[in-house]
Amino acid sequence: MTKSIARVAVATALLVGTVGAVAPLAQARTQEHRGDLLSLTPVSDLTPAQVSGFLKDAGVDSATVRYGVRGYRVTYRTITPQGRPTTATGLLVLPVDGRHGRLDLVADTHGTMVDRDYAPSVGEDDGRLSPYLHASDGRAVAAPDYLGLGKGPGRHPYMDTASSVSASLDMLRATRTAARELGRPLTGDVYGTGFSQGGQVAMALGKALSQGADAHFRLKALAPVSGPYDLAGQEVPALFDGRVNDTSGVLYMSYWLTAQNRLHPLYKQPGEAFRAPYARVVDGLLDGNHTEEEILGALPGNVKDLLTPAFYARLQHPRGALLDAMRDNDHTCDWKPAVPVRLYTATGDTDVPIANTLSCARQLAAHGKKAPVVDQGAVDHNGAFKKSGPQIVRLFDSIAGTA
């Protein structure tokens, strides 16, 4: 598998057959093959001017753009939340800089996505803003789709931090192989960033790397944006006190409950948690094949109208399996990084309120790690990323000594 770059061309011609064939092969392998590269498919090729235009159209400062970029869909082996073999996909982006030296790597983990085709390796959309931003500055970027998104099989285990980290770590391993075959080997230095759901994943992935999860990679810095680092203490309570807007609350809570119920026994029947008529349709809506607009159009306008009175009350005072599901994912900042960490957020964010980031900073400080918090002010959730992204590029340049 690792001997020939020819599979890039083969994958381009036989994309559907290649992606469809990898899952049965992966099921026959053990965990020792995690991170094996299965296919590499070109998906984008942009000049510097095109990268700048793509960023500007989305409202992102393009002043750091120096190079064009080439993107590839990486298909690789990983594991399910239960530890069984599966496959996943992700986006590898390389700078087109005319050089052949080794590249530092940015691990870039994306935010909440309900539509599998919106994932970085598939959609030429917002999921590529951050990867293009960093690659056009001269670094390789590995942007995992996560399990069940992009071209990976099954459904996405939303907010299951452990499987998001394992899929992301295996994406880094596959990226290392792919970059070498493309003639742009990696240095092993990793700069971690991520937005929203990906902010939480970035912190957890950084922790795994710092604890020696793979000797080929050295964590150099962490700069996540607006992650839900504290579900039990901040994010879920914010659904009830107005800090999270109604539309986002409905999307996040329906996605989280249906995904977590496949991992934890939160309810036996949807009708225990969701009101009629939503109980009949909510799980099917969140199968990865519906757009955000389709999902929200079929659900009510607020969480109180979505959930049964009894389950709504349970969320306000969680205990048992419900509280465990929250707390299982609330430890991503509960460690002491040995590298620079900067946390980005915004007071105007009504998707993931700033209190999540302040909670993360407190957890880090309790371990003796001071992490500056950058408040982008009165901008919304996406605005927090759009202002932070270019600043993070410059931060990584400064740490790497390339500014």
- Please confirm whether the linkage preceding 353 is cis (ω < 30° from 0): no
pLDDT at residue 90, as a whole number: 99
pTM: 0.92
CA distances for 94 relative to 43, 162, 291, 318, angstroms: 12, 27, 29, 45
What is the DSSP pairing of strand 186-195 with strand 218-225? Answer: parallel
Question: Which DSSP string do the residues of 284-348 spell out, in sequence order?
Answer: HHTSSSS-HHHHHHHS-SSHHHHB-HHHHHHHHS--HHHHHHHHTTS-TT-S--SS-B-EEE-TT
pLDDT at residue 289, as a whole number: 98
pLDDT at residue 58, as a whole number: 98
C-alpha 40/C-alpha 100 separation (Å) is 19
pLDDT at residue 8, as a whole number: 44
Hey, which residues does 108 pair with through a beta bridge? 193
pLDDT at residue 76, as a whole number: 99
pLDDT at residue 32, as a whole number: 76
| 128 SS3 class | helix
Q: Are the C-beta atoms of residues 93 and 83 closer than 8 Å to each other?
A: no
Q: Are the C-beta atoms of residues 374 and 390 closer than 8 Å to each other?
A: no
Rounded to the nearest angstrom, the gap between the alpha carbon of residue 113 and the centroid of all alpha carbons in its chain is 9
pLDDT at residue 11, as a whole number: 42
Token digits of residue 285? 């809506």
Cα angle value 125/126/130 (rounded, 5°): 120
Token digits of residue 275? 């009101």
Q: Are the C-beta atoms of residues 234 and 244 closer than 8 Å to each other?
A: no
CA distances for 54 relative to 115, 125, 131, 399, angstroms: 21, 9, 12, 26
Token digits of residue 155? 């459904």
Fold of the 231-327 domain: 434 Repressor (Amino-terminal Domain) (1.10.260)
**Under CATH, which architecture does the 6-230+339-400 domain have?**
3-Layer(aba) Sandwich (3.40)
- Mean pLDDT of each 10-residue bin along the chain, 403 residues long: 40 38 47 92 98 98 98 99 98 94 98 98 97 99 99 98 98 99 98 99 99 98 99 97 98 98 95 98 98 98 98 97 95 98 99 99 99 99 98 98 80
Domain range annotation of the chain: 6-230+339-400, 231-327
C-alpha 385/C-alpha 359 separation (Å) is 19
pLDDT at residue 31, as a whole number: 67
End-to-end CA separation in angstroms for the chain: 37
Residue 343's contacts (CB-CB under 8 Å, 6 or more residues apart) are: 223, 224, 357, 360, 361, 371, 372, 373, 374
